[in-house]
Chains A and B, each alone.
Chain A
Amino acid sequence: MDFPISGTHIHPLYLMGIGFVVGILGGFFGVGGSFLAGPALFAAGVPMNFVVGTDLAHIVGKSIVAAKKHRVLGNVDIKLGMIMVSGTIAGVETGAQLIQYLKRQANVDAVVGIGFICVLVSISAFIGWESWQTLKMEKKRDTRKSSTGLTRPQPVPSRFRRYLKSSRDAAVRVKRDESIIAHIPQRIHHLQLPPMVRLPNSGIARISLWTILGVAFVGGVFSGFLGGGAGYIRMPSMVYLLGVPTHVAVGTDLFEIVISASYGTLTHAVKGNVDILLALVMHTGAAIGAQIGATLTEYFHGTRIRLAFVPLPLIGAGVVIYSLVTGHHFK
């Protein structure tokens, strides 16, 4: 099939295949998947400037499908998503400007690249360790319960009760999660830095607005540096720093990606970096993949989703290593 805008000739099945795989990853983990789609498009001969813009356009379509599916499952906190969008956009602009400034000053590619590799590998190792320890803790507790015959259900904390009563399907809408480092988000929730906001859909009674904006800003800076949506940073940050349940973090991240990637698509399209036909064909595969990925989250416990997430930051690190070695940048 010919794509006259980017001047390429690619088989539509190849594009649909990329879309399908990235769609499953996006629906399941709440990431854009540009670390996979970018190199795959580049390998098919798409010019680098079109790779970035086209990938963002395809992410918009895919994330709409996955976010809508997650919304039906009760996994999207729209209030949290809207707050995060402003922090992310500011972070993306800051990251992009900062890297331009640093490039003018000196050759900082290697320093920044190595820094990012360290951060990404650390995130991956930390998530792996935390989810493994949490799984062990859950297993130990289950064994103790079965040996003593304890089957009493856990009481619902009082701050959730009013919300649970007003909810049509409370069991689905608030998916609480377990973590061995749950004390960290609890400490962050106690930070009294006004204005404070309530996030009932995420099960958060009170949290400082600045904390949310800070987390989104850092994710945005990563996105500005590395390109793509940097979901491999934002999703774990939402879980470990904000204390958002894993399922809700996945859904809300997707909702946020719809808005920030739409903004990115517009700015790149004005600069002539988007081949929308390529994005539309890729999206036909991604639509079904995103549905499957989002549906799969129903069958997995939050801890297991986090454990399966471990390779993603490592792939991000792989992309940085590739950029450093070959000089090609996916941004």
Chain B
Amino acid sequence: MRNRVERLSQKIASLRWFLVELVVYAIFVVGYFFLVLHLLGDWLKQVFDENKNFYALVALALIIVQGVTLEVVTSALLRMIRRKVR
């Protein structure tokens, strides 16, 4: 019975920190939209119209860089949750 209560409280704490993570992540993403994607839009459209080969390389580089960066950010946030839960 005591184990069950402990497990339940751990789950609630985990959920609470997950929600905190989502809020922190949302703030990051909104900032990212305004700062990076908004400024990049016109330049990317210009590259798309003028040179498709260069656009292909830029597109791949952007998604890889974002993939790696967001992986680092989300991993750090998930690590933070686990530490708080423990």
- Min C-beta distance of B62 to chain A, whole Å: 6
- Min C-beta distance of B23 to chain A, whole Å: 12
Give the B interface residue count (CB, 8 A).
32
CB atoms of A4 and B45 under 8 A apart: yes
Chain A interface size, as a band, is: 35 or more
B12 interface contact, C-beta 8 A: no
CB atoms of A270 and B42 under 8 A apart: no
- Min C-beta distance of B41 to chain A, whole Å: 6
Q: How far is the CA of A284 from the CA of B69 in the complex (A)?
A: 11
The winner among A3, A62, A284 for most chain B CB atoms within 10 A is: A284
CB atoms of A65 and B62 under 8 A apart: no
The winner among B53, B71, B75 for most chain A CB atoms within 10 A is: B71
B56 contact from A12, A269, A284, Cβ within 8 A = A269
Q: How far is the CA of A284 from the CA of B26 in the complex (A)?
A: 9
A40 interface contact, C-beta 8 A: no
A69 contact from B41, B59, B71, Cβ within 8 A = B71
B66 contact from A4, A272, A283, Cβ within 8 A = A283
Q: How far is the CA of A269 from the CA of B59 in the complex (A)?
A: 8
CB atoms of A64 and B45 under 8 A apart: no
CB atoms of A57 and B63 under 8 A apart: yes
B9 interface contact, C-beta 8 A: no
Within B1-58, which residues are at the interface with A (CB < 8 Å)?
Answer: 22, 25, 29, 32-33, 37, 40-42, 44-45, 48, 52-53, 55-58
CB atoms of B40 and A277 under 8 A apart: yes
Complex interface: chain A residues within 8 A of B57 (CB)? 266
Complex interface: chain A residues within 8 A of B29 (CB)? 16, 284
Q: How far is the CA of A58 from the CA of B66 in the complex (A)?
A: 10
Question: 1/0 contact trace for A285-317 toward B, CB 8 Å?
Answer: 001100100010000000000000000000000
Tell me the nearest residue of chain A to B62, going by C-beta: A276
A281 contact from B37, B42, B78, Cβ within 8 A = B37
Q: How far is the CA of A280 from the CA of B78 in the complex (A)?
A: 21
CB atoms of A279 and B45 under 8 A apart: no
CB atoms of A291 and B64 under 8 A apart: no
Known: A5-B48, A58-B63, A61-B67. A281 touches B33 (CB 8 A): yes
B70 interface contact, C-beta 8 A: yes
Complex interface: chain B residues within 8 A of A2 (CB)? 41
Q: How far is the CA of A2 from the CA of B42 in the complex (A)?
A: 11
Complex interface: chain A residues within 8 A of B32 (CB)? 284
CB atoms of B63 and A12 under 8 A apart: no
Q: How far is the CA of A137 from the CA of B63 in the complex (A)?
A: 44
Question: 1/0 contact trace for A51-88 toward B, CB 8 Å?
Answer: 00000011011111100110000000000000000000
A274 interface contact, C-beta 8 A: yes
Tell me the nearest residue of chain A to B71, going by C-beta: A65
Complex interface: chain A residues within 8 A of B22 (CB)? 288
Known: A270-B56, A272-B52, A281-B37. A5 touches B63 (CB 8 A): no
A57 contact from B41, B44, B59, Cβ within 8 A = B59
14 of the cross-chain contacts (CB-CB < 8 Å) are A4-B42, A4-B45, A5-B48, A60-B60, A64-B71, A65-B70, A265-B60, A269-B56, A274-B55, A276-B55, A276-B63, A280-B63, A291-B71, A291-B74
Known contacts A63-B67, A65-B71, A287-B74; can you find 13 more A-B pairs with CB under 8 A? A5-B48, A60-B63, A269-B55, A269-B59, A270-B52, A276-B58, A277-B37, A280-B62, A283-B67, A283-B70, A284-B29, A284-B70, A287-B71
B contacts, CB < 8 Å to A:
22, 25, 29, 32-33, 37, 40-42, 44-45, 48, 52-53, 55-60, 62-64, 66-68, 70-71, 73-75, 78
For the complex of A and B, list the 6 residue pairs with the smallest distance between their C-beta atoms, beginning with the closest: A269-B56, A64-B67, A287-B70, A61-B67, A276-B59, A4-B45
